[in-house]
Structure 1
């Protein structure tokens, strides 16, 4: 059955921010005494809320980070976004296609609204998504818990089983599957763990232009 709502993750699916934010994270973790590259950060932390990442890093480095550490990271990220954030190639065409088809869509992200407004605004996508944003900051648990996707479906008036999720991270795929939704994993980034994403139940695709053909029986 064709989905009646498409829920997009934000970073790495709509906007090309993953490498930039993970380079920042790698620098922070390395400065704490645990050398790490951007791709290594991406594999460890991709798709998780910063509060969860803080707990993970504290275990790695054996130190307690300041309570406001997530806000410090968000501030650094927002500064880096001012240089400009690109759309994922082909994503505007996918949104155009969904508009033409009359299929609603929205965003379900681990990122806070301030970050989504910054990245989507810089990329030129905010105008068409501003009233369709859902964040884990409104949920009890972030990904891999299904909360944000269930919130999006409920608010948009759709049953979970009628929704499709577009993700690029393992926590996001696990969250979508836990919500009872079909999940499609965008694996254009070489850092994506294709084996893990496929094993978690996602349908993998490399080019955004291929998504409509995967979502619908008669694209």
Structure 2
């Protein structure tokens, strides 16, 4: 396993869903709720499509159920996600305290739209710790595992790629960081298994975040 080179790190770039906020299963459950004839549960979708963009997941659902979803499905889906967030969304334990203790500039690079990012960060009290450094695939029109979103975030914040550490929960996000020439750290919460074949640095609890001051 390649250890983190702490001396090179000047900036932190976080993913959002499943990394800072415990939203991954809520987002995936919304597919199950809005496609009544889908026989996949949220855990199946997580195992096969974690970190994939919405359009790809929709394409795979349509193939599986043998029909097209409504043209306004994304609108229906995102409205339902917002409801689930309002009801249940929480940050991961100790995430806020850890963020405040880390002496690095920080940003968020997410596949979700900015509206969704601000909603989830606002609900969990994290928004004030990251604005204005919120970066969305919908703005740059490029999705992980392509490196463009992370490169855009680094350039906007004024850091070289090799000075950035990406914190991710998905293999596509880790691959995007690798392609961007950045270090990476996998968030693998208690109860989750690391992706098959992953042997890079990881952490389970924010209280044990590797870069916390000793």
TM-score (norm. length: structure 2)? 0.89
Judging by fraction of residues, say which structure has more helix. 1
Give the equivalent residue in structure 1 for 2:181: 180
Residue range with higher mean Cα deviation, 62-71 or 41-50: 62-71
Paired residue total: 208
Q: Distance in 2 between matches of 1:65 and 1:84?
A: 26
Contact 1:111–1:137 under 8 Å retained in 2: yes
Q: Distance in 2 between matches of 1:205 and 1:22?
A: 23
Q: Is residue 2:20 matched to residue 1:19?
A: no
Q: Following superposition of structure 1 onto structure 2, how do residues 95-106 of structure 1 map, counting pairs within 5 Å?
A: 95-98=99-102, 101=103, 103-106=104-107
Give the equivalent residue in structure 2 for 1:35: 39
Q: Distance in 2 between matches of 1:192 and 1:120?
A: 25
Q: What does the per-residue CA deviation read over 1:53-106, in whole Å, with 9 as the maximum and x for residues that have no partner? A: 2222222223222332222211110122122421111111221112xx2x1010
Q: Distance in 1 between matches of 2:134 and 2:108?
A: 5
> Unaligned 5+ residue runs, structure 1?
none
Q: Distance in 2 between matches of 1:11 and 1:182?
A: 19
Give the equivalent residue in structure 1 for 2:202: 204
Q: Distance in 2 between matches of 1:149 and 1:35?
A: 34
Q: Distance in 1 between matches of 2:49 and 2:112?
A: 13
Name the CA shift for 1:97/1:183 in 2 (closer, same or farther; >3 Å): same
Give the equivalent residue in structure 2 for 1:82: 86
Q: Following superposition of structure 1 onto structure 2, how do residues 1-80 of structure 1 map, counting pairs within 5 Å?
A: 1-29=7-35, 31-32=36-37, 34-80=38-84
Q: Distance in 2 between matches of 1:113 and 1:160?
A: 23
Give the equivalent residue in structure 2 for 1:148: 149
Residue range with higher mean Cα deviation, 65-74 or 2-11: 65-74
Q: Distance in 1 between matches of 2:164 and 2:139?
A: 20
Contact 1:14–1:88 under 8 Å retained in 2: yes
Contact 2:109–2:153 under 8 Å retained in 1: yes
